[in-house]
Structure 1
Amino acid sequence: MRKTTQITSCLTFASAALFSLNAFADVKVDIDLSQAEHHYANVTMALPKSAKKSIDLKLPTWRTGRYEILNLANGIREFSVGDDSVTWQKIDKDTWRLTGNFKKGVEVSYQVYANQLGYRTRHVDDSHAFLDASGVVMYTEETRDDKHIIQLNTPKTWRSVSGLDAGKNAHQFIAADYDILIDSPIETGINEFHEFTVDGREYELVIWGKGNYDSKKMVDDLKVLVAQGNTIWSDYPFERYVFMVHATSGAGGATEHLNSTIIQRSRYSFAERDHYLGFLSTAAHEFVHTWNVKQYRPEGLVPYDYQNENYSNLLWLSEGSTSYLENQLLMRGNLVTEKELFKDLSKRINGYLRKPGRDAQSVAEASFDKWISEGGDYSRNHSVNIYSEGFLASWLLDFHILENTNLKKSYRDVHNVLYNEYRIPKTFNDKDMLDVLKKVTGDDYQAWWAKNIDGHAKPDFDKLLAKAGLEISYGKKDEKKTWTGISARSHDNGLKISSVEKNSPAWQAGFTTDDIIVAVDGLRMADKSLDTRLKNFKPEDSVEFTFFRRDQLMTKTIKLGALPKGKLTVKAMKEASDEQKAFFKAWTGLDFPSKTKEKEKS
């Protein structure tokens, strides 16, 4: 255990105080960040007394919000026990077994290497520490329900922020139990801090890292965003909420927590409108999770099993529906324009149409297999995604409900019922969802569910959009461009194929990933752009491709296919009916776009 004499003596004093009060069954955790520049956090845990002869200390193997085994114990070193009468042995990858007499409690120490910024589990450096307890603090089954008191030892200039209750000093936090602790990360360091109040609830924004953000605008827009919760749910499950933002040099992503979120973005990805909208959409997504996931979760996810996979075929609802509802908050707060909404829908529709995996995996299957899902060529061709296809399933369901109830009910009502009637520790399954849908609409959704959730959804986007007075446009409809189905990147003297769309012309011709295209129609690939090269040909042309596979030079012929030359865009119909405009209003909360309105905005 690497600690100075002064710190060790302080911990000894603290331990003596703990053991005199161990009847309260508190777990006291001291996290020393004095070696921050080396990414070290030195942890000392004082466990309460126990009549057991052996205790298993565990570190979770995954963290909430990321359905993937992360093997977090790989950063633990220098484990030790402060009592010579207690022995220990590591019995598996994330379990340390203590054996001995625990009538007076026991103290353990270990070092955590914290350099996993992108995983949003633990990151320590000379400017800050982000601590998600799943990657830092161990637990026992006996102490999981006990109060945890976290004391940070930080540089004097650091500020500590968390959704946890405050302790006796600026760097102490209290969690009623381990499950609350693990769902309430701590951000401490040199940061920018803002507080604001909306409808009597307190909010905080803490930003670590320099960047091109406008924190005043962030606060102003977050004030509008958080006020939209009651457009979906009947009340708010918190009195205080913390937005944690990391402006980074590359790490990105976000994770929801009990009454807080951590959002990571490249430090220069805030100023431009598209970039800022990405931040705002992420904030909305994580805020929706405060209800969807943190207040109601599918069967199989309550209580969390921190050592194993937690399976559910409804993860599409936990994540994809959250993506869908984030847009509801943004639209109802007028934080996005109709044009920005249409751009988002265009991107989603085009992504679905260009994903062969939609015919190979259902959104329910994707939910169950999330723990083993991978990206890349195979995933695109043989899988769907709980986020993007979960969004689509939610959109289809919302429109079905709006139409069948004459705009009186929507998918928002479904989530409010889940919040009020299936709050944790209750859970819900497919049957419960069908019951909720029947309660909201009066209709039986079994056939719809079998087709779109358990089956492979095949939406008619023209008919779907027309309900709300919208349509798809490709510009000049008769113009086509050549299409191979190949995605490639520059590589030495050619193009290295990164993916081949299933059943595309290139797929039919036998091309695969890692083939390196060096010539087309007998001419070297000098410009490194396949699209540019193929402008010299027409759809249906047969073109010879020369390429390397396993360092052998080969040739194959592709009969070029065709795609619309224009970009898929969603737009408002020029002559939408009153019924279509009313549908649009019920769906988005916005008035149907008109040319006069567009001119006023511009």
Structure 2
Amino acid sequence: MTQAVETITPVTPIYVPKLAYQIAMSQPQTHLFEVKLIVSNWHGELLDIKMPAWTPGSYLVREYVRHLQDFSALTSDGQKLNVVKAAKNHWQIQPGGSSEIIINYRIFANELTVRTNHLDATHGYFNPAALCFYIPGYEYCPIEIKIIPARPDWQITTPLPEISPQTFLANDFDTLVDSPFEIGYQQIYDFTVLDKSHQLVVWGEGNLDPQIAIADIKKIVEVEAKIFGGLPYEHYIFLLHLSPSGGGGLEHKNCCSLLYPRFGFKGSEKHNRFMQLVAHEFFHLWNVKRIRPAALEKFDYEGENYTPSLWFSEGTTSYYDLIIPRRAGIYDEQEFLAELSKEITRYQTTPGRLVQPLSESSFDAWIKLYRPDANSSNSQMSYYLKGEMVTLLLDLLIRDRTDGAKSFDDVLVAMWEQFGKAEIGFTETQLKNIIESVAERDLTDFYDRYIHGIEELPFNDYLNPFGLELKSDEVTVPYLGITVNSDRGKETIKSVAANSPAYLAGVDPGDELLAIDGFKVTAEKLVDRLKLYQEGQQINLTIFHGDRLMTLPIVLAKPQPQKYHLQGLGNTVDRQRQLFKDWVSHR
């Protein structure tokens, strides 16, 4: 190879190249997609191509190019072209006078998540950001994608329009990235909501009852459409992968990808959890796909796109994924309060809430949220979870201040009208101004305390006008400050809470728990053993710290709340009851 050549990217090109992908999977059991990119009508001295490092909706540089192999560049008659690899995801091709360049490579795809690629004997799924190159300066060019399935009876599902058999068209690279492909054996269920066509497309086997699921999906679509005044698409796809374990979702403009445990649908609690996932990803078609921070208005696919407002994009969406199923009648008031209590418990039992501000959590998503470690709960706060809590407080504040005439729904509608319809990115200040205009008050102090600061959230101050209070369950077990996993007879300390007795004594995550006061203890029996002691008593904790046997004297602290629940106040007035009813039942 020769030395890297300075990139030549025309600012105002006098020609438009034609871009066409051909994606095959002749041996799906090898997990290798065979990709051919044909660049026609190319007249530049150098062809630069780059592969994205991340995909919108999942804020982590994932280095998709690490799965690429067997790269080559040829002329239309098969002549090999000179190629320079200028960076980890960047190739420079010297066309040698040829106007058509054929690029071949393969992508290893054996990671079943909503943000990566997966290929096996039953299907192929890919996110174009994790599979396709772009040409800097030509992201606006239309792109054709021809799919060659592994077997003739494999079906193809994608939100892109089909322009000829098995060939689809993306108007530009952003649209291509926003359009996942599912190829293989799949069950397709068509349904209509508000005169718009929808599909539930399912890969995998499990205990999903599609008719029950679709009935509730319809309700969610209708409730969310009511907030924003209609549906901003003509066709929408719910793409569902049934997996052995795990779950998640990734939003796209006209579809969403959902991953859910194959046997996780029976029983109201499991069904409700799935509907919350659906409500969350569907809500994103407004909030983040169209109403999005200015930093995400135009994507930089090579690196981090920083914004302090992911708490609104994701956290607000998390709040609504709880309340939307209640409005849709999928669960009742008590189930809603129980689900919200679980979320508050998660928040209140995360030490990192007193360390990392919400806006910083949003900004640092790229290096923290998606890379948890044993100390994460001590030092970090999820912008999903605290954003959900902050949106709850703001919703209650607006409803209380306006006597129920307005809610956070009005914030969303204003954001939709001002930014979403035209797809103009909003700034942090613009978001704050709209919330303030709906709340009819200055929120600088609120922002300083709870978004840019780390003060405890005063839940009861906001819940009282609704006839509710937050209470912690009574705890009698003295506090040690560790969580323990049991695996084949080995008791491993999973986490150690900051400033807890165990933390101050020098216990580390990864240590092996052996005994308390000379007697063996397991994860299952730890709480029962601690019940034998009182606050202020000393225990001798025996552990393996690496390969070193240690016994540490630890003084137990006072019991710490581990569970919180919302409950009604003893005496409420008409205004409290009406505000509560409007909140949980109406809007």
Partner of 1:75: 67
Which residue of 512, 518, 521 corresponds with 2:508?
512
Which residue of 24, 29, 35 corresponds with 1:32?
24
User: Match of 1:422, SS?
Assistant: helix
TM-aligned CA deviation for residue 526 of structure 1: 5.9
Query: What is the alpha-carbon distance in structure 1 between the residues aligned to residue 367 and residue 297 of structure 2?
Result: 20
**Worse overlay, 385-394 or 493-502:** 493-502
Which residue of 366, 373, 377 corresponds with 2:374?
377
Partner of 1:436: 434
2:408 matches 1:411: yes
Query: What is the alpha-carbon distance in structure 1 between the residues aligned to residue 408 and residue 500 of structure 2?
Result: 36
- The one-letter amino acid of 2:163's match is G
Query: What is the alpha-carbon distance in structure 1 between the residues aligned to residue 392 and residue 139 of structure 2?
Result: 39
TM-aligned CA deviation for residue 357 of structure 1: 1.0
User: Match of 2:228, SS?
Assistant: coil
Which residue of 179, 188, 191 corresponds with 1:193?
188
Cα displacement string for residues 539-594 of structure 1 (whole angstroms, at most 9, x for unaligned residues)? 33222212222322222222223337895322334543221122123323359xxx
Which residue of 434, 444, 447 corresponds with 2:445?
447
Partner of 1:214: 209
Aligned residues of 2:516 and 2:542 also touching (Cα < 8 A): yes
2:236 matches 1:241: yes
Task: Report how many aligned residue pairs link the two structures.
Answer: 567
Cα displacement string for residues 20-48 of structure 1 (whole angstroms, at most 9, x for unaligned residues)? xx987442111112221211211111213
Sequence identity of aligned pairs in percent? 29
2:521 matches 1:525: yes
TM-aligned CA deviation for residue 491 of structure 1: 5.8
Cα displacement string for residues 262-309 of structure 1 (whole angstroms, at most 9, x for unaligned residues)? 111121111132222221111110001000110021121120100111
Partner of 1:224: 219
Question: Structure 2 length as normaliser, TM-score?
Answer: 0.92
Which residue of 282, 289, 294 corresponds with 1:287?
282
Question: Structure 1 length as normaliser, TM-score?
Answer: 0.89
User: Match of 2:35, SS?
Assistant: strand
Aligned residues of 1:494 and 1:528 also touching (Cα < 8 A): no
Which residue of 151, 157, 162 corresponds with 1:161?
157
TM-aligned CA deviation for residue 190 of structure 1: 0.4
Aligned residues of 2:479 and 2:560 also touching (Cα < 8 A): no
Partner of 2:585: 589
User: Match of 2:453, SS?
Assistant: coil
**Worse overlay, 136-145 or 581-590:** 581-590
Aligned residues of 1:493 and 1:525 also touching (Cα < 8 A): no
Query: What is the alpha-carbon distance in structure 2 between the residues aligned to residue 174 and residue 490 of structure 1?
Result: 51
Query: What is the alpha-carbon distance in structure 1 between the residues aligned to residue 287 and residue 71 of structure 2?
Result: 38
Cα displacement string for residues 524-550 of structure 1 (whole angstroms, at most 9, x for unaligned residues)? 226753112212223332222122223
- The one-letter amino acid of 2:503's match is W
TM-aligned CA deviation for residue 327 of structure 1: 2.2
Aligned residues of 1:494 and 1:516 also touching (Cα < 8 A): yes
TM-aligned CA deviation for residue 75 of structure 1: 1.5
Query: What is the alpha-carbon distance in structure 2 between the residues aligned to residue 38 and residue 494 of structure 1?
Result: 36
Query: Are residues 319 and 565 of structure 1, via their aligned partners in 2, closer, same or farther at CA, if it must alter by over 3 Å?
Result: closer
Mapping of residues 165-184 of structure 1, within 5 Å: 165-169=161-165, 171-184=166-179
Cα displacement string for residues 364-416 of structure 1 (whole angstroms, at most 9, x for unaligned residues)? 00111110003233211111001111111111211222222222221111111
- The one-letter amino acid of 1:363's match is L
Q: Which consecutive residues of structure 2, in runs of 5 or more, have no partner in the other structure?
A: 1-13
TM-aligned CA deviation for residue 480 of structure 1: 2.0
- The one-letter amino acid of 1:524's match is K
Mapping of residues 328-343 of structure 1, within 5 Å: 328-343=323-338
Query: Are residues 570 and 526 of structure 1, via their aligned partners in 2, closer, same or farther at CA, if it must alter by over 3 Å?
Result: closer
Query: What is the alpha-carbon distance in structure 2 between the residues aligned to residue 210 and residue 493 of structure 1?
Result: 33
Which residue of 124, 129, 154 corresponds with 2:124?
129
TM-aligned CA deviation for residue 425 of structure 1: 4.6
- The one-letter amino acid of 1:43's match is V
Aligned residues of 1:85 and 1:100 also touching (Cα < 8 A): no
Partner of 1:459: 457
Partner of 1:9: none
TM-aligned CA deviation for residue 518 of structure 1: 1.4
Partner of 1:394: 391
**Worse overlay, 406-415 or 83-92:** 83-92
**Worse overlay, 363-372 or 440-449:** 440-449
Query: What is the alpha-carbon distance in structure 1 between the residues aligned to residue 15 and residue 190 of structure 2?
Result: 37
Query: What is the alpha-carbon distance in structure 1 between the residues aligned to residue 583 and residue 523 of structure 2?
Result: 46
User: Match of 1:398, SS?
Assistant: helix
Aligned residues of 1:303 and 1:425 also touching (Cα < 8 A): no
- The one-letter amino acid of 1:382's match is S
User: Match of 2:305, SS?
Assistant: coil
Aligned residues of 1:357 and 1:381 also touching (Cα < 8 A): yes
Aligned residues of 2:69 and 2:106 also touching (Cα < 8 A): yes
- The one-letter amino acid of 2:418's match is E
Query: What is the alpha-carbon distance in structure 2 between the residues aligned to residue 567 and residue 354 of structure 1?
Result: 8
TM-aligned CA deviation for residue 226 of structure 1: 0.5
Q: Which consecutive residues of structure 1, in runs of 5 or more, have no partner in the other structure?
A: 1-21, 592-602
User: Match of 2:365, SS?
Assistant: helix
- The one-letter amino acid of 1:472's match is L
Query: What is the alpha-carbon distance in structure 1 between the residues aligned to residue 523 and residue 96 of structure 2?
Result: 73
Query: Are residues 77 and 329 of structure 1, via their aligned partners in 2, closer, same or farther at CA, if it must alter by over 3 Å?
Result: same
Partner of 1:265: 260
Partner of 1:597: none
Cα displacement string for residues 315-349 of structure 1 (whole angstroms, at most 9, x for unaligned residues)? 11111111012223212111122222122221122
TM-aligned CA deviation for residue 134 of structure 1: 0.6
Query: What is the alpha-carbon distance in structure 2 between the residues aligned to residue 389 and residue 340 of structure 1?
Result: 21
**Worse overlay, 227-236 or 68-77:** 227-236
Query: What is the alpha-carbon distance in structure 1 between the residues aligned to residue 488 and residue 81 of structure 2?
Result: 60
Query: What is the alpha-carbon distance in structure 1 between the residues aligned to residue 226 and residue 558 of structure 2?
Result: 44
